[in-house]
Amino acid sequence: MEQASFRERRERFATAIADGMAVIPAAGHQVRNDDVEHPFRQNSDFYFLTGFDEPDAVAVINPNHEKERYVLFVRPRDREMEIWNGDRAGVAGAKNEYGADASYPLSDLAEKLREYLIGRSSLYYPIGDPAHDGTINTVLKQARRFRARDGRVVPDSISDPHLLLSEMRLLKSPAELEKLRTACEISVEAHLEAMRFARPGLYEYQAQAAVEYVFRSKGAQRVGYGSIVASGPNACILHYVENARQMEEGDLLLIDAGAEYGYHAADITRTFPVDGAFTPPQRALYNVVLAAQQATIAQAAPGSSLKELHETSKRVLTEGLIELDLLPRGLDDSLAMHHYRQFFMHGTGHWLGMDVHDAGNYMTPAKRARPLEPSMTFTVEPGLYVDPGHESVAFPLLAYDHDAWMERRYRMGTEAARKLEGQEKEKAGAVEHPIPTEFRGLGIRIEDDILITADGHQNLTAAVPTSCDEIETVCAEQSRLPVF
């Protein structure tokens, strides 16, 4: 059944490349230190097409070849290396177990590509792979000599296959959704256990251990990304991963963690009090984020877009920030001048699937926000982060157009665009506004995984509570894990 899914994907991809040919490299081992390697995780595009979970391989999709339309180039069997690192499929296994029309040792790649490229009008290959770029360039040069000599057709361009594969990966099949649901279910259990487990005096890494223990004990092969376990002011660091601080009475703990199951990643964030009870300021700021998340998720349906969802989050968060006296101007000015970005500086969501920030374009070819469709999956994750060191903030009085900024950034480069923006802000002036003491150092994010359905949406991670009262109830429950 699994191989049938991979075969169907290859057939769709072959149709998309028509009379071209694709060369898709696998991931390689990455050295950690000396002779120790990082745990291997296959390249998602390669795995999507092949299901082959070994490093240092290459897949060739060649739809118009008489016999060898799908070929795997792999490491050959090697008894000595297999004693150290485990069994390999080898050349025979690649064909017999993974559905290849033919398979060869990786050392034969250049020779076979010289043959395959003759008669192909285009080549799909992800330029930038140091292991194979040299081979591809050399073989293309050799093939083009045939064109000069006797007019044979050879590729005159290289296209990125990821553009085609990302479109295929964006719309999830029932089998893919089943894996993603399992990843979400495992992650839900882990977050619930973290709420029960965490308490003052423990370290962030102990809460991380509780989360990842549940991941592995429930069958997840790995984490979907590095777990963020950020207590107190650390929650204001968006990608905090040190996870080393001792948690204190009165802290909020932000955990952003998701399991990967069957090459599909969940992505959940919850923020909760380590001593089991929100303080009034914590509850007030938390409820602003919760209101934004609820309003945003309610809008998720076919025809809406992630850009529209982001606009909803921005508006609700800004309204709440004004009500809590964290912004100096009214709603329209705060939005136009992007004053909310002092406290909400990231997007509201991203595609979710084989990669935690999954493949897929957010815009249409006409540069418009892409409408959501059934079987798309993504996150909704508004947040607010109040820098612990800021007694006041200078809010620039400069209207801001995000589309114009992105165009300028593309045209000038990020560094030059930021420099020019700084000059414009300085010219426009700013208003200084005090930050209430009770909010300083609070970082809050709430994130769920959403599936678009034919008539709306489904929250795949709703089983982890988000209301303050429900969270406090779970925090009061007895953990099932020991503390050593």
Q: What is the pLDDT of residues 327-380, one digit of tens each?
A: 999 999 999 999 999 999 999 999 999 999 999 999 999 989 999 999 999 999
The pLDDT assigned to 102 comes to 97
Tell me whether residue 24 is exposed, middle or buried, using C-beta atoms within 10 angstroms of its C-beta: 0 to 12, 13 to 18, 19 or more. Answer: buried
Match 């060191």 to its residue by tokens: 389
459-to-8, 243, 314, 451 alpha-carbon distances in Å: 28, 28, 20, 6
Handedness of CA 79, 80, 86, 90 (dihedral sign): negative
Is the pLDDT assigned to residue 432 strictly greater than 90?
yes
Q: In what order do the strands lie in the sheet with 123-124?
A: 102-105, 70-74, 58-61, 21-25, 123-124, 158-159
Q: Can you tell me the distance from the alpha carbon of 310 to that of 284, in angstroms, rounded to the nearest whole number?
A: 21
Confidence class for position 154, pLDDT limits 50, 70, 90: confident
The pLDDT assigned to 407 comes to 85
The pLDDT assigned to 18 comes to 93
Residue partners of 5: CB distance under 8 A and separation at least 6: 173, 175
Please say whether the beta carbons of 373 and 456 come within 8 A: no
User: For 175-217, what is each residue's pLDDT tens digit?
Assistant: 999 999 999 999 999 999 999 999 999 999 999 999 999 999 9
Residue partners of 270: CB distance under 8 A and separation at least 6: 191, 194, 195, 254, 255, 446, 447, 464, 466, 471
Q: Can you tell me the distance from the alpha carbon of 285 to that of 442, in angstroms, rounded to the nearest whole number?
A: 8
Match 């991380």 to its residue by tokens: 208
Nearest residue to 368 via CA among 455, 457, 298, 303:
303
Is the pLDDT assigned to residue 156 strictly greater than 90?
no
Average pLDDT across the chain, whole number: 95
Confidence class for position 157, pLDDT limits 50, 70, 90: confident
Is the pLDDT assigned to residue 85 strictly greater than 60?
yes
Nearest residue to 25 via CA among 58, 61, 1:
58
Is the pLDDT assigned to residue 123 strictly greater than 60?
yes
Tell me whether residue 201 is exposed, middle or buried, using C-beta atoms within 10 angstroms of its C-beta: 0 to 12, 13 to 18, 19 or more. Answer: exposed
Q: Which of 55-64, 133-142, 287-296, 395-404 has the lowest mean pLDDT?
A: 395-404
CATH code for 172-391+435-475? 3.90.230.10
Is the pLDDT assigned to residue 98 strictly greater than 80?
yes
Q: Are 2-166 and 172-391+435-475 equal in CATH topology?
A: no
The pLDDT assigned to 406 comes to 80
The pLDDT assigned to 97 comes to 95
Handedness of CA 286, 246, 474, 451 (dihedral sign): positive
Mean pLDDT computed over 108-119 = 94
What are the structural domain ranges in the chain? 2-166, 172-391+435-475
Q: Can you tell me the distance from the alpha carbon of 53 to that of 80, in angstroms, rounded to the nearest whole number?
A: 20
* DSSP label at residue 10: H
Confidence class for position 401, pLDDT limits 50, 70, 90: confident
Is the pLDDT assigned to residue 149 strictly greater than 90?
no
* Residues recognised as catalytic: 35, 239, 256, 267, 346, 350, 357, 381, 385, 445, 447
Residue partners of 399: CB distance under 8 A and separation at least 6: 336, 337
The highest-level CATH class for domain 2-166 is alpha beta
Q: Can you tell me the distance from the alpha carbon of 58 to that of 105, in angstroms, rounded to the nearest whole number?
A: 10
DSSP secondary structure string for all residues of 133-177? HHHHHHHHHHHHHHHHHH-------EE-THHHHHHHHHS--HHHH
Q: Can you tell me the distance from the alpha carbon of 299 to that of 302, in angstroms, rounded to the nearest whole number?
A: 10
The pLDDT assigned to 235 comes to 98
Is the pLDDT assigned to residue 1 strictly greater than 70?
no
